[in-house]
């Protein structure tokens, strides 16, 4: 392309017969007002229209939470393309917490944290060892309680018994197949880690000093839900259904991803760890959205619906006890609420105690 040619140094003897360098075809013709310059401009316009997103979207200042989840890791037809996309998503997610993470325009530094002495950037993002065992187990168990109905329904419909399931779970060949399957890696590892890293570990430390803990929990999921709208562009581009059905499914997906994002943000703030939201995200990707229609048509629908209701009731009862901050030690992100105004920080004590 002409833009790439502008960045290359001119080689000696590279000029053609007419003395014009082939490294600058578009620029020289455009300055002379020739026909070749118009062809180059039309070519660049056609290439720009083919791009679904502006090329500068991934280079926005601060962590670009709307740009990070855009690549569809499992959408490629070739296995090599899927692995390259997975590497791009992981690389971008790992670069986000760097120099772009800011609080009210002030960069967070490991040696000069704004919260309190001894608080590091990694601790604010949920990477710490204090209380990691309960932070790993309790949020996952709480999420399994919420999905008690779907789990009972899956166990009733599963052709395996408990012994067969344990044999498969402890078979190394099963995990080798999983780790070599790009779709499994995308749903269970890459997507949970990158999305929770961007929308919880990176975004919440920026929102809490500005809005307080409560508004941050309900603001962060809105960005998380909007980030899933790139599926609409893919479906419209490949005409995977009518326009009305595509937008209706997008609104539905935005709704439940926003609710789930609020739940994982709550878990992140109450535990101060990233591992809990990542495991809950991976578990929910595995179970999927509860099949309420199939539950109502199940041969044992009374029992299935009972476990659905029992799971929701137990979840509401255990939500605060199983996420009690006393299990997880000092919560670095709660100290950021001191930077807010007194009226905004009053509601933060219920989340941190």
Dihedrals phi, psi of 33, to nearest 5 degrees: 70, 25
Euclidean distance between the first and the last CA atom of the chain, given in angstroms as a whole number: 59
Give the alpha-carbon dihedral of 222, 224, 227, 231, to 10 degrees.
-100
- What is the rounded CA–CA span in Å between residue 52 and residue 54? 7
70 and 230 Cβ atoms separated by less than 8 Å: yes
210 and 340 Cβ atoms separated by less than 8 Å: yes
- Cβ of 162: how many Cβ atoms within 10 Å? 9
- What is the rounded CA–CA span in Å between residue 282 and residue 178? 14
274 and 125 Cβ atoms separated by less than 8 Å: yes
Q: Quick one: pLDDT at residue 337?
A: 72
63 and 202 Cβ atoms separated by less than 8 Å: yes
Beta bridge partners of 107: 102
DSSP annotation of 348 reads G
Q: Quick one: pLDDT at residue 265?
A: 96
Helix axes 243-271, 132-146, angle to 10 degrees: 140
Mean pLDDT by 10 residues, the chain (353 residues): 42 41 40 53 59 33 38 49 66 60 44 53 91 97 96 89 84 91 91 93 90 90 84 80 86 91 96 96 93 91 96 97 93 76 54 78
What residues are labeled active site?
A: 195, 228
């Amino acid at each position: 392309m002409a833009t790439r040619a502008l960045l290359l140094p001119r080689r000696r003897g590279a000029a053609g017969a007419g003395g014009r360098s082939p490294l600058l075809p578009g620029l020289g013709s455009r300055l002379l007002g020739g026909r070749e310059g118009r062809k180059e401009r039309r070519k660049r316009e056609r290439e720009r229209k083919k791009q679904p997103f502006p090329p500068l979207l991934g280079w926005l200042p601060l962590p670009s939470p709307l740009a990070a989840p855009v690549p569809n890791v499992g959408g490629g037809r070739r296995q090599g393309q899927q692995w390259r996309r997975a590497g791009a998503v992981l690389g971008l997610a790992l670069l986000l917490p760097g120099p772009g993470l800011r609080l009210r325009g002030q960069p967070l530094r490991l040696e000069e944290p704004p919260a309190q002495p001894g608080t590091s950037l990694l601790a604010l993002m949920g990477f710490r060892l204090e209380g990691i065992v309960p932070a790993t187990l309790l949020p996952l168990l709480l999420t399994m309680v919420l999905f008690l109905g779907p789990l009972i329904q899956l166990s009733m419909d599963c052709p395996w018994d408990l012994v067969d399931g344990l044999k498969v779970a402890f078979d190394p060949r099963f995990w080798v197949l999983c780790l070599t399957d790009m779709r499994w890696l995308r749903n269970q590892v890459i997507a949970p880690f990158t999305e929770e890293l961007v929308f919880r570990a990176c975004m919440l430390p920026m929102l809490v000093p500005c809005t307080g803990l409560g508004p941050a929990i309900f603001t962060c999921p809105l960005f998380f839900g909007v980030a899933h709208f790139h599926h609409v562009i893919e479906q419209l581009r490949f005409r995977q259904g009518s326009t009305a059905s595509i937008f209706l499914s997008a609104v539905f997906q935005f709704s439940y991803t926003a609710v789930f994002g609020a739940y994982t943000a709550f878990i992140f703030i109450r535990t101060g760890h990233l591992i809990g939201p990542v495991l809950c995200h991976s578990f929910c990707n595995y179970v999927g959205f509860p099949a309420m229609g199939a539950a109502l048509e199940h041969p044992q629908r009374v029992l299935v619906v009972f476990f659905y209701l029992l799971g929701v009731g137990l979840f509401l009862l255990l939500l605060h006890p199983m996420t009690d901050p006393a299990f997880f030690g000092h919560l670095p992100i709660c100290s950021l609420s001191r930077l807010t105004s007194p009226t905004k920080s009053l509601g933060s004590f219920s989340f941190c105690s």
